[in-house]
Structure 1
Amino acid sequence: MTSAAREPQASPSRPGTAGDRPLTVNELPQETLDFASKMFDLARNGETEQLEAYLDAGLPANLTNHTGATLLMLAAYHGHAATVAALVKRGADVNALNDKGQSPLAGAVFKGEEEVVKILVEARADPNAGQPSAMQAATVFNKPQYLELFQQQSGGRAAPDQNAHSLQTVNS
């Protein structure tokens, strides 16, 4: 008795995928792109209550835009402490880097967003993550209060990087 070799069966596509791979931006429906854009605007504008409703309904807290900026990064850069706190509470990655290698903490340090920096540091954001790092930004822009905060949070292990680089702003 011989058995015929079976051809692998293609699995049906799930919504939001093309077979076994996620859809590219060019393959997404315009309605999806418009919705994502609205979510980034909510974070950028500090519309915390609206964004919380979408997060609680299943919006990923680590959603990224075309430049790799997360909702948290946009809220932090634009100084929206309540939005940052809401995203952190819902699991946003405080150390996620955008496509330029920048962190939410470095953006908040650069912009001088005191409350945002405190929230991110309390959530264990790494002051040495990214390029330039928050530590480098605090050094370059002479913000000793942030260096002190990083030192306190790390139990004295954080130290300024002597090779600080220039800081580029987060795409807004």
Structure 2
Amino acid sequence: MQSAFEAARNGDADFLKTWLEKGLPPNLQNTRGDTLLMLAAYHSHTEAVRTLLDHGGDPDILNDQGQTPLMGAAFRGDQATAELLVERGAGLDVAAPGGRTALMMAAMFNRMDMLNWLLELGADPNMRDAGGASAADAARVMGAAQTAARLDAVMAARGEDATAD
């Protein structure tokens, strides 16, 4: 099975397709809870992601760190993979046990295009992590001034406060 995880990590869509058609479980997880889909998404292999989704890969399975494939794509700023995941049913506001979302990941790592796209799709900037921090708060902690300012502006336009209480 290790070769399947390597194929996902390396973006070998043909290998994955062959083995999925032979019965490889599309939601197979490694010892860290990463699914094949998580590895392909995190490493920006859109075609491997497509293959896994075509064969029943679940875009909302959390790994042991509480991350989804969409969070991985948001962290990387990989728009093509993120779009495919959302198109195939990935939840915008699926939260890790600690409360982190894809929007928070985009904010924390100053992925402005990703952040704007997630906001346009309706990602909720009001969500808070387990510590009460918003996406704007998380961005500020990470020194991501652009995304923090953008989220502050979005919240101000709504008449809301983006900072933790």
Q: TM-score, normalised by structure 2?
A: 0.71
Q: Is 1:98–2:63 an aligned residue pair?
A: yes
Contact 1:105-1:117 within 8 A present in 2 as well:
yes
Hey, what does 2:30 align to over in structure 1?
A: 65
For residues 5-84 of structure 1, the aligned pairs below 5 Å read 36-84=1-49
Q: Deviation per CA, 1:90-126: give whole Å up to 9, x if none.
A: 1100000001111111111111222111111111211
Aligned residues: 129
Contact 1:121-1:150 within 8 A present in 2 as well:
no
Structure 2 stretches lacking a partner, 5+ long: 128-132, 143-165
More helix by share: 2
Hey, what does 2:84 align to over in structure 1?
A: 119
Bigger CA drift: 76-85 or 106-115? 106-115
**Pairwise CA RMSD:** 1.9
For residue 98 of structure 1, give the secondary structure of its aligned residue in structure 2.
Answer: coil
Query: d(CA) in 2 for partners of 1:139 and 1:159?
Result: 12
Contact 1:105-1:134 within 8 A present in 2 as well:
yes
Contact 2:77-2:106 within 8 A present in 1 as well:
no
Contact 1:61-1:87 within 8 A present in 2 as well:
yes
Hey, what does 2:52 align to over in structure 1?
A: 87
Contact 2:44-2:78 within 8 A present in 1 as well:
yes
Query: d(CA) in 2 for partners of 1:96 and 1:72?
Result: 9
Cα distance, 1:152 vs structure 2? 4.0
Larger radius of gyration: 1
Identity %: 40
Q: Is 1:163–2:128 an aligned residue pair?
A: no
Contact 2:28-2:35 within 8 A present in 1 as well:
yes
Contact 1:106-1:127 within 8 A present in 2 as well:
no
- Residues 43, 66 of structure 1: alpha-carbon distance in 2 compared, 3 angstrom cutoff: same
For residue 101 of structure 1, give the secondary structure of its aligned residue in structure 2.
Answer: coil
Contact 2:75-2:111 within 8 A present in 1 as well:
no
Query: d(CA) in 1 for partners of 2:101 and 2:124?
Result: 12
2:123 maps to a residue whose letter is: A
